[in-house]
Structure 1
Amino acid sequence: MKRLSVFLLFNVLPFALYGQSIELSGRVSGATDVENIHVINKTQQLFTITDKNGRFNILAKLNDTLAFSSIQHQPKEVVVSGNIIKEKVMFVFLEEQINKLDEVVVGKVLTGNLMSDIENIDGNRPINFFDVGIPGYTGKPATQSERRLAQAGEFKPIMLLGLLGGSMPLDPLINTISGRTKMLKNRVELEEREALMQRVKSRLAKDFFLSNPLDDDLKMDFFYFCADDEHFIKYCKNKTDFEILIFLRKKYRQYKENLSTNKK
């Protein structure tokens, strides 16, 4: 009986564990930045991202397929082996993604030295506001709707004090009463949602749908469904990929439930 117990402990039990999911600790290395690399368990539809040191943790079992991808690296898939399950660790090296173009020489050859190349280029440099000694705006250019909203102004109660001096601005008051300011605010928010949704889609759609399958004709509709959420900007603007993916996964479950309800 004792021999049988030892046999089961060292021979049968490990194979039984191989069929269960365990948490793997991994590290990605490469020639370029290894932070925010997408790690997707395609078999179990799980995902995570690496930290600044390339480390990650993810649930997996024997023969699961883990996919690694980022803009800077070539995609790579790793099948979880028995040795990985036994050690509960894995190391992955990603090769740099290099987009090679045919060499074409047009005009003068640039050396890479900015000041030297500027001197070698024919033509006059365009004059900017620094050249004439006036202040200028160097931030993000405003959209047409943002410019119109700024021109419309926003009425504030403190502006009523201007009546005492006879200099109260009328445009903000008129635009507030007529509803134009509110309409312009809504338009600016819609444009911000659309732009943010397109950025999220272009950056995360490919990896997200690897672990959350959806018909091609529904993928664009899904992202509009996400953008319609009142908390979309809060959860997706200036957030990490991991935080955005959590939000998308929550909306994905809601979207699938809606599809099932509509089919009934």
Structure 2
Amino acid sequence: MKRILLTLFSIIPLLGLAQNEDESPVLEELTLTVVNAQTDFPLESVHVINLTQVKGTITDQKGEFTIEAAVNDTLYLSYLGFKAQKVRVTNDMFKIKDTKIALTELAYALEEVIVTPYQLTGYLEIDVKNLPVNNAYQYSISGLNASYEAGSKSPSAVTKVLGAILNPADLLRNLFGKKPRQMRKLRQMKEDDEIKNLLASKFDREVLTELLQLEKVDIEDILNNCNYSKSFINTANDLQILDAISSCYEEYKVLNRN
């Protein structure tokens, strides 16, 4: 009997520790100011994302922003013409008012863009032949409520689509299976308007790689194996890429259950 009591008393503290570890961190409103590191002037419309909680906001005219956060959360700040920065939330940020985060301005030059106008003749049959052709064909599979892009309108392209969906050993299982926690953030990202607005204006995949903890090459592999065309992968904005990955992940979950 004594042995049983001793065992119970030794287990109870461990259970308490386990419960504390499982408890969600306490979220508080954090207010900070973002400034130009060179001039110390406040920066307006800086996008701020709490990568840990998947919440977003932007700075106001005074460079200030307020966001829900907990100690040790990671904030990601992004602003056109400035180097993106990640900041770890500390206790001092909640205690000390007027805490500033400085962003460093980038030295960049606009590359020359050559726009080639279409040479139209006014004759429909001739002009149609001169217009560029989009080779990103789409195929839909009944029951999946989604369409897939393929690079060639040929029987082999259709076979490639079906193979990627039906093959249990497909690379998608490896990519999604290794990142289940990051993939669960997809739904949260799509529910936050500030994050969606930011992604709709970006084409560099930097925010996506930070939020999903994926490399750019992983994102390309996912979309390639979901049969999205190279033209889509290269030209889509980050929000469109997010939607594509999300659709592909939902289909992966269906396959995984089966």
Tell me the TM-score normalized by structure 2: 0.43
* TM-score normalised over the length of structure 1: 0.43
Q: Name which one, 1 or 2, has greater alpha-carbon Rg.
A: 1
